[in-house]
Amino acid sequence: MVVQSWADILVGSFQTWWNVFVNFLPNFLGALIVFLVGLIIAAGLAALVAKIIAAIKLDKLLEKVGVGKFCQKAGWNLNSAKFLGEVVRWFFILVFLLAATDILKLQAISGFLKDVLLYLPNIIIAIVIILAAVVIGDFLAGLVRGTVKGANLYASKFSSSLTRWVVLIFGFLTALIQLGVGVAIINTVITGIIAMLAIAGGIAFGLGGKEYAQHLIERFREKVEER
């Protein structure tokens, strides 16, 4: 009886395992097929996007607006076709991987992949913000340098460098806010920077323009007394 009961338990366990395997196998094959098809589609779309970007010569446009110089300083090779192609490829890989995990009913992995897909646009927008900050910073730096020189004022290099770095810092902080990294802390830092610049400007004007302001007051007082 004991031997028979043990045999029944083993047979029941194997039957249960076999039923689970038989029920899981179609889902596994379906998920595998979906993922493999997704890999093929992702590779094809990535190649198509890369060819389109290369055809419109986006790299030359980026070099004209100053992105090429930024990439050279950072030690990167400017290849927008490859970059955007990889972005498209990994996006669709994640999409089909999410579909595969849904078929397999892997809820934890599906939730994680959904969060990644929802977060991916923030990364792209943050990159665009940083690149825009680089372009705008270089443009404003050149504008300030030319204006200061044209007005025969001093410290044109300092003014242009300060303008560039202010734009870059604010662009970087804005990108971090877009990524949701320490939003409250970044807002505090931005407020502190603005307050610091205002106080520094007030102190500089107060110390440097004290004598000139006194001179203007004296001249005004003299004119009033003459009348």
- The answer to whether position 96 is within a domain reads yes
- The answer to whether position 4 is within a domain reads yes
What one-letter code names the amino acid at 225?
E
Q: Which residues have CB under 8 Å from 85's CB, separation 6+? A: 46, 47, 49, 50, 53
138-142: list long-range contacts, CB under 8 Å, 24+ apart: 138/66, 138/69, 138/164, 139/66, 140/164, 140/167
- The answer to whether position 18 is within a domain reads yes
Does the reported pTM lie above 0.75? Answer: no
**pLDDT tens digits, one per residue of 113-168:** 888 888 888 888 888 888 788 878 877 887 777 776 766 666 667 777 778 888 88
Domain that holds residue 61: 1-105
- The answer to whether position 197 is within a domain reads no
Residue 133 pLDDT: 83
Half-sphere exposure of 145 (CA within 13 A, CB side): 12
- The answer to whether position 150 is within a domain reads no
- The answer to whether position 26 is within a domain reads yes
- The answer to whether position 36 is within a domain reads yes
Residue 45 sits at the vertex; the CA angle it makes with 89 and 117, to the nearest 5 degrees, is 40
pLDDT at 84 over 70: yes
Q: Tell me phi and psi for residue 69, to 5 degrees.
A: -65, -40
Q: How many domains does the chain have?
A: 1
